Amino acid sequence: MRNDHIQKLGFALLFLCVIITVFFLGSIIYFIVVRGAPAISWEFLTEVPRRAMTQGGVAPAIVGTFYLTIGAVLFALPLGLACAIYLTEYSPKGAVVNIIRMSINNLAGVPSIVFGLFGLTVFVKFFGFGVSILSGSLTLAMLILPSIISASQEALIAVPHSLREASLAIGATHWQTIKRIVVPTALPGILTGVILGIGRAAGETAPILFTAATFYMRGYPDSVFSEVMALPYHIYALMTEGTKPDQQTVIAYGCSLLLVVLVLLISAIAIYIRQSRRKIYGH
Amino acid sequence: MDIDIRPVRDGIKEASDGNAGRNESTARPNDRANQFRSAKNGAVSNGVNLARMHSQNVNFYYGKSRALSNVNMNIHENKVTAIIGPSGCGKSTFIRLLNRMNDLIANSRLDGKIFLDGKDINAPGVDVVDIRRRVGMVFQKPNPFPKTILENISYGLEINGRKDSGFIRHKVIESLEKAALWNEVKNRLNDNALGLSGGQQQRLCIARCLAVEPEVILFDEPCASLDPISTKKIEELILELKKEYTIVIVTHNMQQAARVSDYTAFMYLGQLVEFGQTEKVFTVPKQKQTEEYLSGKFG
């Protein structure tokens, strides 16, 4: 074959791969929207479930997902940021830090169901928090901690050395430099990591399976020690349990649509922040 | 290496306020500082070096490689001292020792002493933050903080514990005026500093440095990334600033050294080859290497 034919074949194959990928991604969105949209209504968003969940809404699950996610970020952000600051700014460079860094990266690859079991053993049983918002939030926090640490580390490392020098050269201490120059400059990057973490925490089912989620609640949780409904677990429960599969499937698709929109919105915020950061730095 | 650093007098009365005659041990710190200041031109009096800053047998190592060899240099009060030499000669390493910026470099080692007003700045118990406040620095690439013009300057005051907003306001204006930037930015103090041109950014960095009232200002190739017009402004500024401050400037540009400095140090391969009044170094250099460098035979 002549070279230009091989080239054309190559481009054609690449294009085919793109088409296949776009087809699957598009059909996921299509099916979720088509099947989920009929379930969405004002009642669906604001009411508690009724009649074994075949009627009413999923408001407690929305609220539950909200609480769990906020809780996870409240735990993971300070902890993760502190770790990242220590690892990038203070720790001596060497074998120990490299091992810690590698462990954190490996932690990011641990399957989420393993975090679920960990949460059950440690938070639910050992600390005695029970199946609760607290246990679930802590478990989700563990899950998103590695990505928050990595994102924060990257953001901190990306702060130009010249800014640290500028600050130190006018008599700032190392801590003042970190607090007033390095972290604020890295903030957009850190927030991007946090927001992606939020998206992940909102969507995960396995970690809350044993630690926080309940199938059915008539009302709303009243303390951090309450069990909660959550959207991802609600979808799982609707599809595996209950007695009226037909009606439940529609609601499950409705919840899926809600969850996808929620995560997309959250990612959109991350993208927006990244863009505005580019504007500040002019590149 | 022997370098002739004889006391130079240029008509300023030396040690005429009576303080210089006092016994060192009875002098209070302020008197001592005055004593050093009054000894305008770095005279060595009774075996004590009275230059504003001086280095004594300074060797500096990055890991095992030696970047500076036995450097002895005086930095004279209210003068501009230029350090010239080809890339890698150690001039930036040396200037960064004067405000202990090299403390940040892992695996580096300093052997020898650096004095500010006769006190070893690396002695135990000396606060590095205090040294860096007294010995300010302007870097090669303008490095304003990604904050507003106002915040860039107020930052240094705030970290040094000045909270009074009236004082900060006053100091911001004063610093910007001294840095010849006030007229260009007075109507946009709350704009992001990164929106300024390169030359303006560098003058902002100078203003930021001036705000914390340093005594010595180190310029590490301040014009390396600037256009000729901005360079001219910075040079004029340096000549203006030397009335109040003691200035050290590292430069690649020999003409720049000739234009702005009173003293010139020529460094090569980590050694101080020649030091003297700029006029003399440029017209009748004592060392052959200096002459060759200045005439463009290498570098």
pTM for this one? 0.78
DSSP type of residue B194 = G
B284 touches chain A (CB under 8 A): no
Say what the pLDDT of residue A50 is. Answer: 72
| Interval B208-258: pLDDT, tens | 999 999 999 999 999 998 899 999 999 999 999 999 999 999 998 899 999
Amino acid at B288: K
Q: CA-CA distances (angstroms) from residue B76 to A54, A72, B209? A: 87, 59, 20
Confidence grade of residue A276 (pLDDT, cut at 50, 70, 90): confident
Is A229 in contact with A217 (CB distance < 8 Å)?
yes
CA angle at B96 for the pair B94 and B99, rounded to the nearest 5°: 120
Measured between beta carbons, the chain A residues lying within 8 angstroms of B143 are 160, 162-163, 165-166
Say what the pLDDT of residue B45 is. Answer: 59
Please say whether the dihedral angle defined by the alpha carbons of residues B140, B141, B142 and B143, taken in this order, is positive or negative.
negative
Residue of A nearest to B142 (CA): A162
Does residue B187 register a pLDDT over 90? yes
DSSP type of residue A87 = I
| Chain A nearest CA to B155, separation (Å) | 9
User: What is the rounded distance in angstroms from the CA atom of residue B160 to the CA atom of residue B162?
Assistant: 6
B156 touches chain A (CB under 8 A): yes
Helix axes A59-85, A231-240, angle to 10 degrees: 130
B98 touches chain A (CB under 8 A): no
User: What is the rounded distance in angstroms from the CA atom of residue A193 to the CA atom of residue A283?
Assistant: 20
Say what the pLDDT of residue B11 is. Answer: 37
Confidence grade of residue B142 (pLDDT, cut at 50, 70, 90): very high
Give the one of B130, B141, B208 whose C-beta lies nearest to A162's C-beta: B141
Phi, psi angle pair for A249, to nearest 5°: -60, -40
Residue of B nearest to A179 (CA): B159
Confidence grade of residue A38 (pLDDT, cut at 50, 70, 90): confident
Q: CA-CA distances (angstroms) from residue A4 to A8, A14, A15? A: 6, 15, 16
Residue of A nearest to B213 (CA): A170
Residue of B nearest to A181 (CA): B145
User: What is the rounded distance in angstroms from the CA atom of residue B251 to the CA atom of residue B298?
Assistant: 16
Say what the pLDDT of residue A239 is. Answer: 87
Give the one of B106, B136, B146 whose C-beta lies nearest to A169's C-beta: B136
The DSSP line for A98-113 is HHHHHHHHHHHTS-HH
Does residue A63 register a pLDDT over 90? no
Note the Cα B245 to chain centre separation in Å.
Answer: 9
Mutate to test the interface with B, among A170, A177, A181 (most CBs of B within 10 A): A170
Measured between beta carbons, the chain A residues lying within 8 angstroms of B208 are 166, 170
Say what the pLDDT of residue A119 is. Answer: 92
Strand B80-84 and strand B246-250: the pairing is: parallel
B143 touches chain A (CB under 8 A): yes
| A interface with B, Cβ–Cβ below 8 Å | 93, 160, 162-163, 165-173, 176, 180-181, 185, 280-282
3-class SS letters over A121-165 = HHHHHHCCCCCCHHHHHHHHHHHHHHHHHHHHHHHHHCCCHHHHH
Measured between beta carbons, the chain B residues lying within 8 angstroms of A282 are 194
pLDDT exceeding 70 applies to what percent of chain A?
95
Q: What is chain B's mean pLDDT, rounded? A: 85
Cβ–Cβ of B143/A176 closer than 8 Å? no
ipTM score for this prediction: 0.81
Q: Give all strands of the β-sheet with B53-62 in edge-to-edge order.
A: B65-75, B53-62, B108-116, B119-120
Residue range A173-197: average pLDDT? 89
Give the one of A160, A169, A176 whose C-beta lies nearest to B137's C-beta: A169
User: What is the rounded distance in angstroms from the CA atom of residue A170 to the CA atom of residue A192?
Assistant: 31
Phi, psi angle pair for B286, to nearest 5°: -85, -30
| Interval B167-186: pLDDT, tens | 999 999 999 999 999 999 99
Q: CA-CA distances (angstroms) from residue B44 to B27, B50, B54, B216, B263? A: 18, 6, 11, 20, 17
Does residue B6 register a pLDDT over 60? no
Give all domains of chain B, ordered by start, each with its CATH number.
Answer: 44-294 (3.40.50.300)
Highest mean pLDDT among A1-10, A106-115, B256-265: B256-265
CB neighbours of residue A233 within 10 Å:
25
User: What is the rounded distance in angstroms from the CA atom of residue B183 to the CA atom of residue B187?
Assistant: 8
- Of residues A115 and B30, more confidently modeled: A115
Residue of A nearest to B202 (CA): A166
Confidence grade of residue A281 (pLDDT, cut at 50, 70, 90): low
Residue range B189-193: average pLDDT? 92
Measured between beta carbons, the chain B residues lying within 8 angstroms of A166 are 139, 143-145, 205, 208
Say what the pLDDT of residue B14 is. Answer: 38
pLDDT exceeding 70 applies to what percent of chain B?
84
| Interval B17-73: pLDDT, tens | 434 333 444 444 444 444 444 444 445 556 667 788 999 999 999 999 999 999 999
Helices (H), chain A: 3-36, 42-46, 59-85, 95-108, 112-119, 133-157, 161-169, 174-177, 183-203, 206-209, 231-240, 245-281
Q: Is A50 helix (H, G, I), strand (E, B) or coil?
A: strand
Cβ–Cβ of B159/A173 closer than 8 Å? yes
